[in-house]
A and B are shown apart, each in its own frame.
Chain A
Amino acid sequence: MTTLEHDRLVFRFPEVHEDACCAIDFQRTLRLPDDDREHLLPPGLGSFPLRHVDDFSHRLPPNWHDRGGVFFPIHRAEAMWVNFSADDYPFAVKVAAGKVNAVTGEPWAPQLNRDPQDYAVLPRQPWLDGFCVEKGVIRQFVAAQLGEGATAEEQITGNGEHGGLQFIVYPMKADRYEEIRRQRQQMMEDRVMYSARRSVMHGIPDLVEDMDMGMAPGGRMRQEIYEDEHGLDTWDQRHGQRCFVAMADALLWEAITDEQPPTEPPTAEDYNLAGLPWFDYYDDKAAALEGAEKLAHLKSIRDTLLKGIPRAEARVRHVGPSRRPRP
């Protein structure tokens, strides 16, 4: 079952295994300078508020109700990243923007594919900041209104029909997980034995028309989508859970929900002037996927909608596999 808890989508599979639980939330962030240089990880500035579409369907277009799921407010040209949380239990997660796969650029299909790999593997993949355009390089997710031609969906399909983000989550098969757990347990026991031995030795109807948002490719950033080290047959594709995450123009959020929308985030320039750091993430034990040809040719939002984004001279903090730090 998929639930909404503290602005996070929580995916639980009690029918597969009691440990099979992971979560996805959407983090506000700085828009990267779109200058063809490869930038480092921008910080998380807090999560976007998420609401059930069903709670506001009287104020939303009918197709939003048909799709179900949840929605959040985002300003035009605002950037965001997808934050994955999983403990030990592994998951395969497909992510699409406007029903275009963010890893391969292919049209949405629910099943997992390995050649090329079209999904991310949790918990190894801690986050996804954009479209995978080259090996080790993504183009940041930046919000654009559907109809302006800037979104990846419109550039690839020629239509702005869906917008939003789409997810399907598959848990690992329970017997494979138990096997991994047993191996880990054995390794732990071996380590303890080894240590022990060593120690012995040492206005709404008009407004809603223009509210649908999609994801356009923004600035380039260093980020790897890691290769599946478990293999396609380890995933329990009989038990997928999917969710449509729509995005509403933040200016209309109050009219829809009666809640204040989030303020506009600071610019990269403001952030640097405040002396706050960017991050360089590394995981030297994982192999990265190649980028997708279809996504590599997308035009940046700089070329379609935005001009003159400031350059950022950044302070950098190096972080290993861990939670994404805050500024």
Chain B
Amino acid sequence: MTHFGQYVRERREELRKGDRRYSLRQVAERIGIEPAYLSKVERDEVAPPGEATTVRLAGELGEDPDVMLALAGKVSGELQEIIRRRPKLFARLLRELKSAPDHAILSVVREVRDGDW
């Protein structure tokens, strides 16, 4: 299993090879947390940060926020709200799809319709 902190550190270090602005200190500053705290997060010494910080970190590292939240063991407030509005329907949908292969799940995702142009 990939640890959240380890994943963040590997991704940040990879970006730092091409751009020094991805140092621990500068990334921490840009997402509004202390460098010492980000260092602890990267070493998995503390629990992953809250939703807002995780989403900012995902944006900074060019990662999908939902994937980063999942790595942090969280579900975004936006997704929770979607489920809360129609709990029965979405619970059923998720259970139906829990073991489906990716291509089956993709077939129920809404496509952008291409028209006549």
Contact = CB atoms under 8 A, between A and B. Distances in A.
Interface in B23-81: 30, 62, 64-65
A40 B111 CA distance: 36
A53 B114 CA distance: 10
B11 to A, nearest CB: 11
B115 A69 contact: yes
Interface in A54-109: 54, 65-70, 85, 99
Given A52-B113, A99-B117, A243-B112, 15 more contacts: A1-B106, A1-B109, A2-B114, A3-B112, A4-B112, A9-B112, A12-B106, A14-B102, A14-B106, A68-B115, A68-B116, A85-B62, A244-B114, A322-B18, A323-B19
B110 interface: yes
Nearest to B60: A326
B101 to A, nearest CB: 10
A66 B21 CA distance: 45
Contacts of A70: 112
Nearest to B64: A6
Contacts of A67: 115-117
Contacts of A9: 112
A170 to B, nearest CB: 15
Given A320-B18, A325-B21, A66 B112 contact: no
Interface string B1-29: 00000000000000100110100000000
Q: Identify the 10 closest CB pairs spanning chains A and B, nearest first.
A: A68-B115, A322-B18, A68-B113, A67-B117, A2-B112, A67-B115, A322-B19, A1-B111, A244-B117, A68-B114
6 contacts: A66-B117, A166-B117, A241-B114, A320-B18, A323-B19, A326-B30
Contact of B19 (A54, A166, A319): A319
B75 to A, nearest CB: 15
Interface residues of B, number: 20
B103 interface: yes
B112 to A, nearest CB: 4
B15 A323 contact: yes
A25 B30 CA distance: 22
Interface residues of A, number: 33
A116 interface: no
Nearest to B65: A6
Given A320-B18, A325-B19, A325-B21, A65 B115 contact: yes
Contacts of B110: 3-4, 52
A66 B111 CA distance: 16
Interface string A233-246: 00000000111100
Nearest to B107: A1
A70 B109 CA distance: 16
Contacts of B65: 6
Pick from A4, A69, A322, A325 the residue with the most CB of B within 10 Å. Answer: A322
Interface in A13-31: 14, 18
A53 B117 CA distance: 14
Nearest to B109: A3
A266 interface: no
Given A12-B106, A67-B116, A323-B15, A3 B111 contact: yes
Contact of A54 (B62, B64, B113, B116): B113
Nearest to B14: A322
B111 A2 contact: yes
Contacts of A3: 109-112
A54 B109 CA distance: 15
Contacts of B117: 66-68, 99, 162, 166, 244
B106 A69 contact: no
A243 B114 contact: yes
